[in-house]
Chain A
Amino acid sequence: MPDDYSPGSREDFDRLYQVAYPRVYRTLTALLSDPAAAEDCAQDAFVQAYHAWSRWRPDAPAEAWVHRIAVNRAISYRRSAKLRTVAEVLRRLGRPASPPDPAEHAARSDLLDALGALPPKLAAAIVLRHYHGYNNREIAAALGVSERTIGTRLRQAGERLRQALEPSFSLEAPSAFQADSPELYVKD
């Protein structure tokens, strides 16, 4: 990944968007289990990053910096979504809830559902490590915590993910997803 960006350069930010947006979007999809919310948060994160682009320091990878903004945005979204859910439950108190859409339910992956059920900080550590290929130091820089904390989060997240997928865990990917060539984050 080229990291020769100049802070404040519009052309460099456009380049960063082209490279990082799909990856950030996938991270947020794993965190939020909602494509529309993931797109909204990813766009918001890039807007926020664009306004702070002149203050970006090249000592950290630009994509990790955007990831940090995006994960924080997803955490805020999840928090407000919880409040909205509580308000919706109170509003519909006494009335039966509408049944879920079967087509949407069939298209969803149990793995992504399990990731979305994890706390966002744990899910972000899993995705950055096992999908984007960051090492602990890069995850620590992206999330703004220590490497020791990242190790703890990875262990907790792996354990909780295994427990959630224990009945249905299998090697086969669901047919709804067509495996593409994985975008590996080759750093070292």
Chain B
Amino acid sequence: MSKTDHDALDPLLEARLRAELSAVRPPSSPPRYTTAAAPIRAWRFAPVALAIAFTGILALTAFAATGSPNPAVWTNRVETVINPPSPTPSSQSEPAESESPVAPTAVPAHRPPAPPTEGPEPTGSPEHESPEPTDDHESPNPSPSPANSASDDH
């Protein structure tokens, strides 16, 4: 035993300590390590736990976005967002068909194109369009007005 270090304890006390600790008899119980199972390391289940947590968050988000717990609805919603339905030709032709009966009757062939501010108005009925040519000063043959102006001049 090395005694080069400084002895901080009284030799008598050291002798008592040795005597008393040597008198302590360890119990003869079987070693516990022979029956102890290997510790379960939590990090081994980390990928599984991570995948479960990710799936749960995804399901909650999808439920909140669609308002439906049905995964089929979620799939439809995803497809709708990724590939929005292209506008069909029938939907474009509908306004043309609705305007087609109006356009030939309301707008004469010789009528000049309407100013840009009057763009939305052609959707209206022909009754609304009929007074417009009277207000239009560029109209070539407003029959009453030349007569009236000529009579006024004379």
Q: Which residues of A contact B (CB under 8 A)?
A: 13, 17, 21-22, 25-26, 29-30, 35, 39, 42-44, 46-47, 49-51, 109, 111-112, 115, 126-127, 129-131, 133, 135-136, 151, 154-155, 157-159, 161-162, 165, 169, 171, 173-174, 177-188
Contacts and interface: CB of A to CB of B under 8 A. Distances in A.
Contacts of A46: 31-33
Given A182-B18, A187-B2, 8 more contacts: A46-B33, A129-B9, A151-B5, A161-B9, A177-B19, A177-B24, A183-B22, A186-B1
Nearest to B14: A130
Given A130-B9, A162-B10, A162-B13, A17 B31 contact: yes
B21 A126 contact: no
A173 B33 contact: no
Contact of A171 (B16, B17, B29): B16
A161 B13 contact: yes
B21 A26 contact: yes
B38 interface: yes
A111 B5 CA distance: 23
A155 B7 CA distance: 8
B6 A154 contact: yes
Central interface residue in A21, A44, A109, by most chain B CB within 10 Å: A109
B27 A29 contact: no
27 contacts: A17-B31, A26-B26, A29-B24, A39-B29, A43-B32, A46-B32, A47-B33, A50-B33, A51-B33, A51-B38, A111-B17, A112-B20, A127-B21, A130-B9, A131-B21, A155-B6, A157-B8, A159-B8, A161-B9, A162-B13, A169-B12, A169-B13, A173-B23, A177-B20, A178-B23, A186-B1, A188-B1
Interface string B17-53: 1111111101101011100101100000000000000
Nearest to B23: A177
Given A158-B9, A178-B23, A185-B1, A173 B32 contact: no
A72 B39 CA distance: 19
Is chain B's binding surface mostly helix, strand, loop or mixed? loop
B15 A171 contact: yes
Is chain A's binding surface mostly helix, strand, loop or mixed? helix
Contacts of A185: 1
B4 interface: yes
Contacts of B21: 26, 29-30, 112, 127, 131
A39 B26 CA distance: 8
Given A50-B36, A130-B17, A136-B5, A21 B31 contact: yes
Contact of B6 (A49, A127, A151): A151
B40 to A, nearest CB: 11
A97 B15 CA distance: 36
A133 B1 contact: yes
Nearest to A184: B1
B22 A135 contact: no
Nearest to A46: B33
